[in-house]
Structure 1
Amino acid sequence: MNFIIWNSRGVLKPNFQGHIRNLAQEHNPTILVVMETKLGGDRVKAITNKLPFDGAIHTNTIGFSSGLWLLWNSDLVDVELLAKTDPRSEERCILWENLTKVAELHKLSWVLAGDFNEPLIDEDKFKGRGVNINRSLAFKDCLDRCSMVDMGFSGLRYTWTNKRDFSNLILERIEKFFMNPDWCVIYPNARVTHLPRCHSDHCPVLMEALPVSIVKLIRPFRFQEFWLSDISFPSIVSKAWNGNRDLAESIDCFSEDASAWNRNHFGNIHKRKKRSLARIYGT
């Protein structure tokens, strides 16, 4: 069971729907939350109907800002809307109080996730103004009363950037997942990953309740045509075929040497492509 939260900074961007489909295809989220949609009215349903989810809850925008979509697959999870809260900073104290009341009303396992727009500690922030002590303490008090702990993360250190040059750059970790002890007992291996930042100044954040263990399989050797264009490749061939070996041994030797040379010389071109695209779109 996977969850993704993403502050999209607007859903009318040309690449928005394609990026949502890519996230769904690659990470198979049961629930996906899109924040800062900046879109209301009849156009909302027209867009969400095109996305790979059959359940949807939409909140209204405030002018040309805010807006939240909760999307899910109904064959995997049941969703019930309990309440909506104004996202403006002056209303956060009401949200913290409501969350505390929810925690007092049940003894279930649960998680708290979102773009809280509030760094908790100095390590959550790079440059810019310091952490607001009063707002941070109010948030921490809510988390303590709800018995919530930060689930941590892997990947990028920060989830938001102001996209300025280094002298004016500000980075913050403001998207987070928190869990209570009961959730931790049920899903002890749950993990959170900051995904590459694309089409927004916020990166999507993935939470996997039951991470799939990656089993490394021995892949068959494949000759790559682009090797022929590299000037160092002939030496790999010569090394494998020069010597007192029979044909089978020479083939094995070439396969091992060429695979090692490709790995060290070119690396994983698919990962390099993803990193390059992430940089292009503002990681």
Structure 2
Amino acid sequence: MVTVETQGLSGGIAMLWMYKEEAILNSFSKNHIDMRIKNKSGNEYRLTGVFGEPDRSKRQETWSMLRTLAMNNSLPWCLIGDFNNMTSQNDKAGGRPYPQRLIQGFREVLNDCNLVDMELRGYPYTWERGAGTSEWIEVRLDRAIVNIPFLDVFADATLTNLEISTSDHCPILLELQKIIKDVHIKNFRFENAWLREPMCHQIVEEVWAGNTNKTLFEKLEKCSSILSTWGQEITGSFKKRIHNCKRILKAMKGRRDSNSISVSREAQKKLSEVYVQQEVFWRQRSKQLWLREGDNNSKFFHSSVKKRRAINKICSLKNSQDQLVDWNTGLENVVTDYFSELFTRSHTEWQ
């Protein structure tokens, strides 16, 4: 870990990594940490954490720092953090127009250093002030800027606004490659969280009462189909539902009219219900038999399942030439060749 302490109530940068061999520190200051990174695939690149000068009269210091860091660079390069700079008026909503000279100055720096601003997925703004009031201002201050070699090496890299935060800044997530998701064949599974809903009992009773001429298997199939569709509203997409509730609460923050208070209370009620459903959902999957009913540590349930899945997941293997390959570079062939060789008969003699 390398850290730069905060300056009063602003600033502060930290770089953390898993293995010592992954990163080498190039330089640091109160406004940056510059690292050379080598990932598991053997790709070497440069990663710089940045905190731009918040004082507009000193913005030139940030621009000079970027130009200095760009000198004699031959590696794929990414700079990420709170730049306290905008590239256009579209980066701001509310308040007065941003000084055009600052926008132009930052764009000149990007051009001089041959850097491009990565597209931000999700909500377009990363910082706010005065939420829910007539003086509400939102700005995109946090970003990742990269050079062309970086885009060539990491063609699938994405930058996402995670939006939800206790800070006035939203966290942003840079992913260098696409995450290959496991393909699961969805089979019906009854969720214990459904038992908290009266509608669950009603669905089962109606299916059984309305299909008296059907076999037991046909009734079960019909019931599971209806429950699966209905259950998506109860145990489907917890993250999205929590996000929607928090967005509503965030928009209503600071408002005192009766309608806004009513909307906030309803959103808070829904948020509490989702948290309870999520807890029951992950408890059912955690399979930790020693946990007692009523334990509210839903993060533990979630991590138990995620950890088990991570342990069982194969991301990369070494081939016959002792080279590490993943699903993008022929891992399926390594698996196929291994089992083909394992089950191929050779020089077998029977007595």
Relative to structure 1, is the Cα distance of residues 178 and 63 closer, same or farther in structure 2, using a 3 angstrom cutoff?
closer
Whether the 8 Å contact between 2:93 and 2:139 is mirrored in structure 1 is yes
Determine the structure 1 residue equivalent to 2:185: 218
Determine the structure 1 residue equivalent to 2:97: 130
1:172 to 115, 127, 139: 139
Structure 2: gaps spanning 5 or more residues? 32-52, 254-351
Deviation for aligned residue 1:172: 0.8
Matches within 5 A, 1:155-166: 155-166=122-133
Whether the 8 Å contact between 1:190 and 1:207 is mirrored in structure 2 is yes
User: SS at the partner of 2:181?
Assistant: coil
Deviation for aligned residue 1:279: 6.3
Deviation for aligned residue 1:212: 0.6
Tell which deviates more after alignment, 224-233 or 202-211: 224-233
Give CA-to-partner distance per residue, 1:133-154, whole Å, 9 cap, x none.
1111110001011111121122
Deviation for aligned residue 1:195: 1.0
Matches within 5 A, 1:51-90: 55-59=1-5, 61-75=6-20, 77-84=22-29, 87=53, 88-90=55-57
Whether the 8 Å contact between 1:198 and 1:278 is mirrored in structure 2 is no
* Residues 1:251 and 2:197 are matched in the alignment: no
* Residues 1:200 and 2:167 are matched in the alignment: yes
User: SS at the partner of 1:80?
Assistant: strand
Relative to structure 1, is the Cα distance of residues 74 and 233 closer, same or farther in structure 2, using a 3 angstrom cutoff?
closer
For residue 183 of structure 1, what is the amino acid of its counterpart? F
Deviation for aligned residue 1:111: 0.9
Give CA-to-partner distance per residue, 1:94-133, whole Å, 9 cap, x none.
3323322433412221012121112221211111121211
Tell which deviates more after alignment, 214-223 or 247-256: 214-223
Tell which deviates more after alignment, 208-217 or 71-80: 71-80
Matches within 5 A, 1:25-40: none
Structure 1: gaps spanning 5 or more residues? 1-54
Whether the 8 Å contact between 2:87 and 2:103 is mirrored in structure 1 is yes
Give CA-to-partner distance per residue, 1:215-249, whole Å, 9 cap, x none.
34234433234534544434532454333432222
For residue 222 of structure 1, what is the amino acid of its counterpart? R
**TM-score (normalizing by structure 1):** 0.69
> Once superposed, what is the RMSD of the aligned Cα atoms?
2.8
Q: Supply the distance in 2 between the matched residues of 1:137 and 1:85 (Cα, whole angstroms).
A: 24
Whether the 8 Å contact between 1:56 and 1:72 is mirrored in structure 2 is no
2:109 to 130, 142, 148: 142
For residue 82 of structure 1, what is the amino acid of its counterpart? S
Determine the structure 2 residue equivalent to 1:119: 86
Determine the structure 2 residue equivalent to 1:51: none
Give CA-to-partner distance per residue, 1:234-267, whole Å, 9 cap, x none.
4532454333432222212211210101114664
For residue 148 of structure 2, what is the amino acid of its counterpart? P
Q: Supply the distance in 2 between the matched residues of 1:149 and 1:126 (Cα, whole angstroms).
A: 22
* Residues 1:261 and 2:230 are matched in the alignment: yes
Deviation for aligned residue 1:280: 6.0
Deviation for aligned residue 1:82: 1.8
Whether the 8 Å contact between 2:159 and 2:172 is mirrored in structure 1 is yes
Q: Supply the distance in 2 between the matched residues of 1:247 and 1:76 (Cα, whole angstroms).
A: 61
* Residues 1:227 and 2:191 are matched in the alignment: no
Relative to structure 1, is the Cα distance of residues 126 and 90 closer, same or farther in structure 2, using a 3 angstrom cutoff?
same
